[in-house]
Homo-oligomer: A and B are copies of this chain.
Amino acid sequence: MRISPLIDRLIDSLQAQPGVGPKTATRTALHLLQYNRAGALALATALTDAAQQVQHCRLCRTLTESELCAICANPKRDAGALCIVESPSDIVAIEQAGGFGGRYYVLHGRLSPIDGVGPEELGLNALAEHVRASGAKEVILATNPTVEGEATAHYVKESLHESGTSVTRIAHGVPLGGELEYIDGGTIAHALQGRRRID
């Protein structure tokens, strides 16, 4: 239903958010206009500031408005371990899990020749130099276990072959709390292949 030009435009614009369709957008627009105009204006300012000022960290390429992100600027983070991820949200997921004290490198995508995404777009040409300069002893490949993610991991491994750096891949297998009978065959095959001796 069309309400008024400005409200309709707000409803359309709200759908730029992932997972927000016409119904949620309508509810959100009316809620903000009825009860929280200050919040709507604060959100508008935050969107403008972030969209105009957020860029990529000079070292790890994650999103930040500073030259260096908080992790790269933190001297306590271990420069010896470099974790390669596809996107900034992967960093959020790994940081929230805790337990990793190293640094990151964000590809902003994965190799996908069909979409015109090659090594250049992912910053892979600069990666070997970055690894050398950072003094990383171990490069951990945390790209997603999809066809493109695996191809990307393979490419990175090959491109670091000459550097002599140790390259590892995160484990893929049965997730915690997962029950074997509900897990797909590919995951089970990975879990069997990646089995380890228990001492």
B65 and A47 contact, CB distance less than 8 A: no
A92 and B30 contact, CB distance less than 8 A: yes
Known contacts A6-B65, A16-B40, A46-B10: does B32 contact A51 (CB below 8 Å)?
A: yes
**Interface flag for A43 (CB, 8 Å):** yes
Q: Which of A21-29, A153-161, A168-176 contacts B (4 or more CB under 8 A)?
A: A21-29
**Interface flag for A193 (CB, 8 Å):** no
Instruction: Give every chain B residue within 8 A of A34 (Cβ-Cβ).
Output: 63, 87-88, 108
**Interface flag for A114 (CB, 8 Å):** no
Q: Helix, strand, loop or mixed for chain A's interface?
A: helix
Find residues 36-60 in chain A having any chain B CB closer than 8 Å to their own CB.
36-37, 39-54
Known contacts A28-B17, A28-B18, A44-B44: does B37 contact A6 (CB below 8 Å)?
A: no
Find residues 120-149 in chain A having any chain B CB closer than 8 Å to their own CB.
none
Across the interface, A65 reaches (CB within 8 A) one of B4, B19, B96, namely B4
A47 and B41 contact, CB distance less than 8 A: yes
Sort chain A's interface into a size bin: 35 or more
Across the interface, A89 reaches (CB within 8 A) one of B27, B53, B70, B92, namely B27
Instruction: Give every chain B residue within 8 A of A66 (Cβ-Cβ).
Output: 4
Distance, CA A36 to CA B47, complexed state (A): 11
Distance, CA A32 to CA B5, complexed state (A): 24
Across the interface, A36 reaches (CB within 8 A) one of B16, B29, B95, namely B16
Across the interface, A64 reaches (CB within 8 A) one of B4, B37, B42, B43, namely B4
